[in-house]
Amino acid sequence: MTDHEIAETTPPSELSADICVIGAGAGGLTVAAGAAQLGARVILVESGAMGGDCLNHGCIPSKSLLAAAHVAALAPRARQFGIRFVPPEIDRAALAGHIQDVIAGIAPHDSVARFEGLGVTVLKGHAKFTAPDILSVRAARITAKRYVIATGSRPSIPPIPGLDQVSYHTNETIFGETAPIDHLLVIGGGPIGVELAQAQARLGAKVTLVELARLLPKDDPDLVGCVRRALIADGIDLREGSGVVRVANGSAPGTIDLHIADNLGGSEVVRGTHLLIAVGRRPVTEDLGLDIAGVEVVKGAIKVDRRLRTSNKRIYAIGDCAGGPAFTHVAGYHAGIVLRNILFRLPARVNADLIPWVTFSEPELAQIGLSESAARARFRDVRVEQLAFTANDRARTELRTDGLIKIVLRANGHILGVGIAGPQAGELLAPWCLAMARRLKLSAVAGLLLPYPTLSEISKRVAGNFYAPRLFGAGVRAIVRGLLRLA
C-alpha cells in the first residue's frame, strides 16, 4: 500500500460531522483541508486512491510525460541552432518509472496521514445516500450538516462497434505502458488526445489522430491553427472531419484496425499497434443514491445552481461531477466557493467567464473568457487585437515564432477574453487572468513596465496596439505641435 492509499479498517457504525466530503480528488481535498483548518469536523470518503484523477491518471502523469517528450524533441530541433545530437533512445520502462516517481513525490501532500493530521476522518469505501441527510459507507452510517460531492469524472468510452473486442488505452492506463509503441491510433482531438498524440510522436511512435469535428473544437480556430501546424511538423497524421465506423483486431498479430470514414464520403482502414480513446470524460454520479437523497441529475451530471448547491440544499457538488469544465483548477475554484457558502454563509457564486484553460501541447494553447465568436454574439461593439509571436524578440531568439496572441474587448477597452497559442502560453495568460478578475481595462496591461527581452512583452505590445491609432492620430499630433511651439 502506498502512502496515498487508504487502509480498509472497519469504521465506527455511527459517525457525525459538520461536513462530509465524497471524493478525495483535487476539489474534495481542498474542501476537507480548508474546512478542517477552520475548525469544522470533517469526514472524507474515497473508494480509490487519494489525489483522484489529477494525481494518479491526469495532470501530474501527463505533464511528466510531456516533459520527457519535450526533452526528446530537442534533438531534431537543435539543428536549427547549428547543434547536432545523436537521435534519442527511448527507454519506455524508465519513462514509466519517471512518471511514477513524480506521482510518488507529490502523493504525501494528498496522503491519508496528512489529512488525518489536519483532523479529518478519512474513510475507505463506496459512499451511498440512504436518506436525504444520511450517507452509508460500508458498515458506517454518517450524518452531516452539509455534504459535498466531489466524485470527479472518468474517460468516456464511445459506442464504436468492435471496441469491446480490442485492447485499448485511456488516460488511466497509457502512462504505465512500458512496451515500445510502434503506431498509436488516437480517437479524439480534444486536449487529452492532442497532448498525448504529440508526446508519443516525439517519443518515437508513429501517430494517427482521428477527430470527428476539427482539432480542439472548443478553442478559437485562429489559435488552433498554430497547434495543428506543430502536430503535422511532428509527423502526426491528422484525420479531421473523420469518424470511426468500427474497430477490429488486425490480421497481423498485435495490431488494431480502425475503419474510418470522412465527411466527403471516403473510407479507409488504418492499422496500428496501440489504441488510445480520448473522446472526453463523463461525470461519476452512478450508484451514489442521489435519487434517494433528492439530488437531481441531468445528462449524467449533478445539477447545481451558481452557489453549487444541488436540489437538496444540504448537498453541494463540485468539479467534474457537476458537469462543468473538467479541469483540476476548476474543482479547486469550486471548493473555495463551497467553503465560503458553508462556513461563512456568504453567497459566493461561480463566474464561468473567469475560468481559464490550457492545452499543454507545444505550442501551448491558453484561453480565458469569451472567444471572438461568443463575444460577437453577445455584444455589438466588439474589437479584436492580435499579434503574431514573430513580433516578439525573445521568441525570435529561441526560434519559436509560430504563435499568436488574440484579445477580444469592447470599444471602451473592457477585456472580454484572451487567447494565446505559443511558447509558455499558460504562463503568459496569468496577467490577463488577474486583469479580468479585477475588471481592469486594457490600459493597465498596456502601461506595464516589463523586462526585455521576455515573452511577456507580447501582452504589453498587443494591448498598446489598441491605443496606437488614438495616441498617434491627427488630434494628438496637433496638440504636440502646439506644445512644441510654446517651448
**215-241 confidence digits (pLDDT tens):** 999 999 999 999 999 999 999 999 999
- The pLDDT of residue 27 is above 60: yes
pLDDT at position 487 over 80: no
Enumerate the CATH 3.30.390.30 domain ranges in the chain, comma separated.
Answer: 363-471
Categorize the per-residue pLDDT at 10 as very low, low, confident or very high, splitting at 50, 70 and 90.
low
Residues forming CATH 3.50.50.60 domain(s) in the chain: 14-50+111-155+282-352, 163-279
Residue 75 has a pLDDT of: 85
* The three cell numbers locating residue 156: 468516456
- Check if the beta carbon of residue 150 is closer than 8 Å to that of residue 318: yes
User: What kind of fold does domain 14-50+111-155+282-352 have according to CATH?
Assistant: FAD/NAD(P)-binding domain (3.50.50)
| Confidence (pLDDT) at 411 | 93
pLDDT computed for residue 404 by the predictor? 97
Place of cell 481592469: 440
Is the Cβ–Cβ distance between 303 and 288 less than 8 Å?
no
At 47-92, the pLDDT tens digits run 999 999 999 999 999 999 999 999 999 888 888 999 988 888 999 9
Reported CATH class of domain 163-279: alpha beta
421-228-64 Cα angle (round to 5): 70
Which residues pair with residue 390 across a beta bridge? none
**What gap in Å lies between CA 357 and CA 329, rounded to an integer?**
9
User: Is the per-residue pLDDT at 126 higher than 90?
Assistant: yes
3-state secondary structure the chain: CCCCCCCCCCCCCEEEEEEEEECCCHHHHHHHHHHHHCCCCEEEEECCCCCHHHHHCCHHHHHHHHHHHHHHHHHHHHHHHCCCCCCCCCCHHHHHHHHHHHHHHHHHHHCHHHHHHCCCEEEECCEEEEECCEEEECCEEEEEEEEEECCCEEECCCCCCCHHHCCCECCCCHHHCCCCCCEEEEECCCHHHHHHHHHHHHCCCEEEEEECCCCCCCCCHHHHHHHHHHHHHCCCEEEECEEEEEEEECCCCCCEEEEEEECCCCEEEEEECEEEECCCEEECCCCCCHHHHCCCEECCEECCCCCCECCCCCEEECHHHHCCCCCHHHHHHHHHHHHHHHHHCCCCCCCHHHCEEEECCCCEEEEEECCHHHHHHHCCCEEEEEEEHHHCHHHHHCCCCCCEEEEEEECCCEEEEEEEEECCHHHHCHHHHHHHHCCCEHHHHHCCCCCCCCCCHHHHHHHHHHHHHHHCCHHHHHHHHHHHHHC
Average pLDDT over residues 6-17: 76
pTM: 0.93
Separation between Cα atoms, residue 424 and residue 249, nearest integer Å: 40
| Residue tagged 518509472 (cell numbers) | 97
Q: Which three cell numbers mark 335?
A: 471548493
Check pLDDT > 80 for residue 6.
no
pLDDT in tens, 285-340: 999 999 999 999 999 999 999 999 999 999 999 999 999 889 999 999 999 999 99
C-alpha pair distances (Å), 403 with each of 245, 359, 400:
35, 14, 8
Mean pLDDT for the chain? Answer: 94
The mean-pLDDT minimum among 4-8, 177-181, 200-204, 261-265 falls in: 4-8
Q: Are 281 and 114 in contact (CB under 8 A)?
A: no
Q: How many residues does the chain have?
A: 487
CA distances from 459 to 206, 232, 343, 439, 449 (A): 36, 27, 39, 17, 11
When pLDDT is averaged across residues 272-293 and rounded to a whole number, the result is 97
Edge-to-edge strands, sheet with 356-359:
356-359, 364-369, 415-422, 404-410, 382-388
Task: Inform me whether the pLDDT recorded for 1 exceeds 50.
Answer: no
Provide the pLDDT for residue 472.
77
Distances (CA, A) of 197 to 170, 403, 473: 12, 20, 48
> Residue 304 in contact with residue 316, Cβ under 8 Å?
yes
pLDDT band, residue 7 (cuts 50/70/90): low
- Residue 154: phi, psi to the nearest 5? -135, 165
In terms of C-beta density within 10 A (0-12 exposed, 13-18 middle, 19 or more buried), how is residue 352 classed?
exposed
Percent pLDDT > 70 in the chain is: 97
> Who's near 455: CB < 8 A, 6+ residues apart?
392, 394, 395, 422, 423, 424, 428
- In the structure, what pLDDT confidence band is assigned to residue 474 with cuts at 50, 70 and 90? confident
Radius of gyration, CA atoms only, the chain: 25
Q: Give the pLDDT score at 86.
A: 85
Q: What is the mean pLDDT of residues 238-247?
A: 96
Amino acid at 151: T
pLDDT digits (tens, 9 = 90+) for 130-182: 999 999 999 899 999 999 999 999 999 999 999 999 999 999 999 999 999 99
Say what the pLDDT of residue 121 is.
97
pLDDT of residue 2: 53
Residue whose grid cell is 531534431: 76
Q: Which residue has the cell 510531456?
A: 66
pLDDT tens digits for range 339-349: 999 999 999 99
Identify the pLDDT of residue 479: 80
Residue range 33-41: mean pLDDT, rounded? 97
Q: Which superfamily does 363-471 belong to?
A: FAD/NAD-linked reductase, C-terminal dimerisation domain (3.30.390.30)
pLDDT of 3 higher than 70:
no
pLDDT at 8: 63
Q: Is the pLDDT of residue 443 over 90?
A: yes
User: How much is the pLDDT for 324?
Assistant: 82
What is the predicted pLDDT for the residue at 4? 59
Residue 364 has pLDDT above 60, yes or no: yes
Q: Which three cell numbers stand for residue 245?
A: 465506423
pLDDT at residue 96 tops 80: yes
